[in-house]
Structure 1
Amino acid sequence: MLSEYQHLIDLNDYPVSWWKKVVELGEEIYNAPEKFAHVCDGKIMATLFYEPSTRTQMSFQTAMIRLGGQIIGFDNPANSSVSKGETIKDTTKIVSNYADVLVIRHPIAGAAKAASLTADCSVINAGDGGHLHPTQTLTDLLTLKIEKKTLSGLTIGMCGDLLNGRTVHSLCKALSMFPDNKFVFISTNELGMPAYIKDIIKANGSTYEEINTLEDAIGKLDVLYMTRIQQERFASREEYLAQKNTYVLDRKKMLLARNEMIVMHPLPRVDEITVEVDEDARAMYFKQAKYGMYVRMALIMTILKEKKQSETLKGKIFAGVKCSNPKCITNHEEYLPKSFRASRDETLLECEYCDERKLI
């Protein structure tokens, strides 16, 4: 299925050369933002945020304003027709009539892809549940480009909720495309990295190991990517509390790290990084948030300038087959085509919206 508009749903829909181009443009904007103050004069960006956000929403809005454009949208679906039961299709179909680019965040996996099927402008995925967060990945790549001077040959530790952490899923997929990167997953068994992400890492020629304690891992890392245990992804408060304080980065653990290691975090943090770590020169998470604005400026410019078609669905519909993931958008918006990528013998299917696998 083709869309006449260029979308960013998953970074892996684009070649690495495209990512590099966006990141390099972000660095150029960072070094001389005044040169880009009017490139989006007369353009409008709509932001549809179905769940809370501070950095992603405000950095997108600030990015468009700094480029000379204007913004519309909502940050609380209760204040829109969504509260009356309006579908993603209808909301995005209407709002896309008013905008040149649409940015959507949604708590359900695959929602951004669903929006791209029918929107009458470009769609950018600002996070879909625990699935993907491609613009955070671009933020992370720009941070590494500026602070580590490379995107290759790094040992990256990812710590915390790796099961529900869309930021680490997207970043793993991206960094495994660059040569000689190694991954260290630091998590409990219950919150470990999903199998499909591990398979992608191996398929791309990268390696990973899994370690249960931060102390055992931190000394071998070039980058430590901390994540919070996400209360909103748990079925009950009791399940959340059982995992909440498992991994906490403090000054004592930082003494075990290399002098050149940097600490990243997509924010917000809760208790997983103590305030005392903020004063360590290796703490990059506040700079990282600022870099996000510049790379989103670069992304908006690129999407609006290129105006390429997007292939939104590439798979096949199998009669009577539905995605088995209850958190997939296809199980919430029934009108959506149930499209799957299939193995050669069509016994293993992968949902095109949420990447959930299913044997038939």
Structure 2
Amino acid sequence: MRVFLNRHYVKPCITNADTIRTVEGYSDIIVLRHFESGAARRAAATAEIPVINAGDGPGQHPTQALLDVYTIKREIGRLDGIKLGLVGDLANGRTVRSLAYLIAKYQNIKIYFVSPDVVKMKDDIKEYLTSQGVEWEESSDLLDVASRCDVIYQTRIQKERFGERIDHYEAARGKYIVDKKVLGVLPKHAVIMHPLPRLDEITVDVDSDPRAAYFRQAKNGLYIRMALLKLLLVGH
């Protein structure tokens, strides 16, 4: 198996058609992470081998969504009827965007969006959820949302997405933190997830709680991505 792994800082022109055609001669699969939304889609339109989107800027992160749904199923025991709280940088967080798309395929889903005003979930996701009959609600009260949810999915405020708008970053950072207070209202069966890495949005004293699932979540990514590689290699 030959897999070409790329991050945008290694080869910024990776989605150039000539580059893709050259790279596919060296590999069986291209795994592409890029800073631009839609980069993986453009690469796939050129390549004759499978292209895996490993994250395209603030756009999508499909393999993360697969491992997130798998983690929810393992931890909670079901996917239908889930109440999911998405917390943090929802405007730039590709993981929460992809998870919202994928979880919408299940029945009786309710999603709560909890974020600072400057990084609210974008309208395209809200419109998609509405079109799929998924109930969603925006809230500024993390404790209230945590008391209702099966899953709290925390994300970091992504400083690199703010550019020169440092004042916006400082206004958003630290506003919503998962700590012992959140654990105190979180249902006993519920779990806390995070795509990692974290900064200070989940305090370290939460780690020892059995409902802290983020390290198990990360480990599940190994198995999901192994399965995806095998599926594509056999199919290809």
Q: TM-score, normalised by structure 1?
A: 0.63
For residues 86 and 126 of structure 1, what CA distance do their matches in structure 2 show?
A: 13
Corresponding residue number in structure 2 for 1:95: 23
In the alignment, structure 1 residue 245 sits paired with structure 2 residue 174: yes
Please give the per-residue CA displacement for 1:263-312, whole angstroms capped at 9, x wherever unaligned. 000011011000000011000000000000100011111112223xxxxx
Corresponding residue number in structure 1 for 2:186: 257
Please give the per-residue CA displacement for 1:312-348, whole angstroms capped at 9, x wherever unaligned. xxxxxxxxxxxxxxxxxxxxxxxxxxxxxxxxxxxxx
Corresponding residue number in structure 1 for 2:133: 205
Q: Aligned runs of 1:2-17 on 2, under 5 Å?
A: none
Q: Shift in Å at residue 90 of structure 1?
A: 2.7
Corresponding residue number in structure 2 for 1:302: 231
**What amino acid maps onto 1:97 in structure 2?**
G
The answer as to whether partners of 1:153 and 1:181 remain within 8 angstroms in 2 is: yes
Percent of matched pairs sharing the same residue: 42
Larger-Rg structure = 1
Q: Shift in Å at residue 200 of structure 1?
A: 1.0
Please give the per-residue CA displacement for 1:96-131, whole angstroms capped at 9, x wherever unaligned. 111011100001101101111212311000000000
In the alignment, structure 1 residue 277 sits paired with structure 2 residue 206: yes
Corresponding residue number in structure 2 for 1:193: 121
Change (3 A) 1:120 1:190: same
Q: Can you give the 5+ residue segments of structure 1 that lack an aligned partner in the other structure?
A: 1-42, 51-75, 308-360
The answer as to whether partners of 1:159 and 1:226 remain within 8 angstroms in 2 is: yes
For residues 79 and 182 of structure 2, what CA distance do their matches in structure 1 show?
A: 25
Corresponding residue number in structure 1 for 2:64: 136
Higher RCO (CA 8 Å, separation ≥ 6 residues): 1
Name which of 105, 115, 120 aligns with 1:177. Answer: 105
The answer as to whether partners of 1:97 and 1:121 remain within 8 angstroms in 2 is: no
Q: Shift in Å at residue 139 of structure 1?
A: 0.7
Q: Shift in Å at residue 47 of structure 1?
A: 0.5
Q: Shift in Å at residue 239 of structure 1?
A: 2.2
Change (3 A) 1:91 1:202: same
Q: TM-score, normalised by structure 2?
A: 0.96
- SS state at 2:177 partner: coil
Corresponding residue number in structure 2 for 1:119: 47
Please give the per-residue CA displacement for 1:108-166, whole angstroms capped at 9, x wherever unaligned. 10110111121231100000000000000011011012111111110000001111111
The answer as to whether partners of 2:72 and 2:79 remain within 8 angstroms in 1 is: yes
- SS state at 1:132 partner: coil
For residues 73 and 188 of structure 2, what CA distance do their matches in structure 1 show?
A: 18
- SS state at 2:118 partner: coil
The answer as to whether partners of 2:82 and 2:108 remain within 8 angstroms in 1 is: yes
For residues 304 and 150 of structure 1, what CA distance do their matches in structure 2 show?
A: 29
Corresponding residue number in structure 1 for 2:197: 268
For residues 216 and 191 of structure 1, what CA distance do their matches in structure 2 show?
A: 20
- SS state at 2:112 partner: strand
Corresponding residue number in structure 2 for 1:62: none
Name which of 69, 75, 94 aligns with 1:166. Answer: 94
Q: How many residues align?
A: 235
In the alignment, structure 1 residue 44 sits paired with structure 2 residue 2: yes
The answer as to whether partners of 1:97 and 1:120 remain within 8 angstroms in 2 is: no
For residues 27 and 191 of structure 2, what CA distance do their matches in structure 1 show?
A: 38
The answer as to whether partners of 1:227 and 1:266 remain within 8 angstroms in 2 is: yes
Q: Shift in Å at residue 91 of structure 1?
A: 2.4
**What amino acid maps onto 1:196 in structure 2?**
D
**What amino acid maps onto 2:219 in structure 1?**
K
Q: Aligned runs of 1:23-102 on 2, under 5 Å?
A: 43-50=1-8, 76-77=9-10, 82=12, 88-102=16-30
Change (3 A) 1:44 1:87: closer
Q: Shift in Å at residue 49 of structure 1?
A: 1.3
Q: Can you give the 5+ residue segments of structure 2 that lack an aligned partner in the other structure?
A: none
The answer as to whether partners of 1:161 and 1:191 remain within 8 angstroms in 2 is: yes
Runs of 4+ in 1 over 4 A off after TM superposition: none
The answer as to whether partners of 2:91 and 2:122 remain within 8 angstroms in 1 is: yes
